Structure 1
Amino acid sequence: MARSDNLTGALLMMASMACFTLNDTMMKLMAGDVPLFQLLFLRGVFTTAAVAVIAWRMGAFGARVPRRDWWIILWRTVGETGAAYFFLTALFNMPLANVTSILAALPLTITLAAAVFLREPVGWKRLAAIVVGFGGVLLIVRPGASDFNVFSLYALTAVGFVTLRDLSTRRLSKETPSMLVTLITSAAIMVFFGLGSLAGEWAQMDGRALGLTVGASVMIIGGYLFSIMVMRVGEIGFTAPFRYTGLIWALVLGWLAFGDWPETITLVGAAIVSGSGLFTLYRESRQARRKYAVQALRRH
């Protein structure tokens, strides 16, 4: 029996989340052994080289990028660079599942930012879901608690930068190839952190560290490719909720690799954030279907 496009999209989304979480795990395994800027530069070298080959094979270099898109790509690159620094700094100092749970608030922040900055309509139900979801984030971060970790604020800052990245991506023209944008972003991160690494000392890397760096590069390339492929099959409203399988990967890998298991209140907060995000995605998909139906009626 032939597999449906929606099922294919769901499998690709789950594969993307698995790759990104495996990348996070491999990077965290080197925390304290190799400076962050050195790690990001070396991973950027491997990633940029591979993405350049893929972009070339896909014919991305021949595309004409509209002038307005270059400014959008610049802001997207700022978002990606800031997210890489703040996310990995938080990851090196917090349990994997906790950081991933905070990032699960992304659908909420993107919806809110789109309403504020792009004037996209947001009904009261989605606004209520956003408020509830942020309440779940507070349960995870718990500011004022005795075990509060300042690096939770780094994770929240990373959410802000990823929101900037994704909002910028929404504004890109359809004729601008996704793989070309990915290449530009990867190269910019490589250069930025490469220059930054010159200000500090480099650590000598053994076979384990080099293997983990190459493995992280392979995983992040896989995550990029699968996430792009997801956009080409199935309905976004169906496939997007499978993004939350990243939380399951984070729980399992955090326990297996580091012996970390979140406290009950953190798990409750993660469940609230995930539930709010799923509801927001559901409402957005319904609104999109209603919009397309109205447009179809007007055409006929």
Structure 2
Amino acid sequence: MSPPASPRKRHFLARRAQVAQWRMSRLDTATQALLWSMSAGLLFVVLNSIMRGLSMVLDPFQTQFLRYLLGLGVMLPLVLRSGLAAYRPRNIGGQFTRGAVHTAGLCLWFIAVPHITLADTTAIGFTGPIFIMLGAVLVFKEPMRWERWLAAAIGFGGVLIVVGPKLSGGGGVYNLVMLASAPVFAASFLITKALTRYERAAVIVVWQSITVTLFSLPLALLHWQMPGPGQWVLFLLCGILGSAGHYCLTRSYAAADISATQSVKFLDLVWATLIGWLAFGDMPSNSTLVGGVVICAATIWIARREARGPR
């Protein structure tokens, strides 16, 4: 058992964290939003890789329930430390509405994900930003400047370059089920954007875990089987990754227009390629490399345009 960190070392780490937070605060809000969104994408790619493996050996609805239950368990010490009053929402109805919509999207996602390839899952998931951008215009009346549409179109084109040669359609109806989850998740994220107007990011993330856990429990009990020790460890890891990812995503929505951050989602494909190469030795194909360059170019360009602001 390693000895506890010395007070001097703890103070050093605290100072480094304060310096990083100070540097982050000096960036313009658009850049902050893009960085939060990129961090969320990386966390969710790792999370989805683990969750897909778990859902292939356990009931998908049980997997969904345990992921959010363990996510709530991870955040519980923080809640108790700050006090329950600090996490009391201003709009409890909005929190449960968001939880119900997100649970519906998760149900569709978990039904489909064990039956289709990861390439198909990734490709279909990238239709989400289009639904979110449309919703941002219709619901929040956000200004949709041509740069945002162009960055989204270029990023989506990069995705098609990567996954186009690999799409098989072997999933049949499950591809349509996965596609149906995209507008439902978009609605959930739009509700999140609305909640950020008067709720803290931590409050939204905690209540998402509470509501999704409650809504998922009846479905999980239908085909319950006890997970093994290793699976419990993976669920705990998923709880940490999911809570951190949703926190980053909520911070990005609070910092800027939701439509301004959608082009960054296409970087998820780059993260997935890097993780596959480093963890599993999957060498990227030529189409992946070309598409990755296109996606990165679109993301860097829109980041610079958003930092400069509208003319």
Verify same fold: TM over 0.5: yes
Which of the pair is proportionally richer in helix? 2
| Structure-2 change in CA distance of 1:161 and 1:54 (3 Å) | farther
| Structure-2 change in CA distance of 1:88 and 1:141 (3 Å) | farther
Whether 1:29 and 2:43 are equivalent positions in the alignment is no
| Structure-2 change in CA distance of 1:273 and 1:89 (3 Å) | farther
Tell me how far apart the structure 2 counterparts of residues 167 and 232 of structure 1 sit (CA, whole Å): 12
RMSD between aligned residues: 4.3
- The partner residue of 2:76 within 52, 55, 60 is 52
* Match in the other structure for 1:294: none
* Match in the other structure for 1:157: 180
Does the 8 Å CA contact 1:55/1:180 hold for their aligned counterparts? no
Cα drift, residue 82 of structure 1 = 2.4
> Residues 2-81 of structure 1 correspond to what in structure 2 (within 5 A)?
4-5=23-24, 14-59=38-83, 61-62=85-86, 65-66=89-90, 69-81=91-103
Cα drift, residue 76 of structure 1 = 1.9
Cα drift, residue 253 of structure 1 = 3.3
| Bigger RCO (CA 8 Å, 6+ sep) | 1
Q: How many residues align?
A: 285
Of 246-255 and 179-188, deviating more is: 246-255
Whether 1:218 and 2:240 are equivalent positions in the alignment is yes
> Residues 164-203 of structure 1 correspond to what in structure 2 (within 5 A)?
164-172=187-195, 174-200=197-223, 202-203=224-225
Tell me how far apart the structure 2 counterparts of residues 63 and 270 of structure 1 sit (CA, whole Å): 40
Does the 8 Å CA contact 2:123/2:163 hold for their aligned counterparts? no
| Structure-2 change in CA distance of 1:238 and 1:81 (3 Å) | closer
Partner of 1:122, secondary structure, is coil
Amino acid at match of 2:237: G
- The partner residue of 1:117 within 135, 139, 160 is 139
Gaps of 5+ in 2: 1-15
Does the 8 Å CA contact 1:97/1:251 hold for their aligned counterparts? no
Does the 8 Å CA contact 2:151/2:263 hold for their aligned counterparts? no
Partner of 2:222, secondary structure, is coil
TM-score, reference length from structure 1: 0.71
Cα drift, residue 196 of structure 1 = 0.7
Of 120-129 and 177-186, deviating more is: 120-129
Amino acid at match of 2:62: Q
Does the 8 Å CA contact 2:55/2:110 hold for their aligned counterparts? no
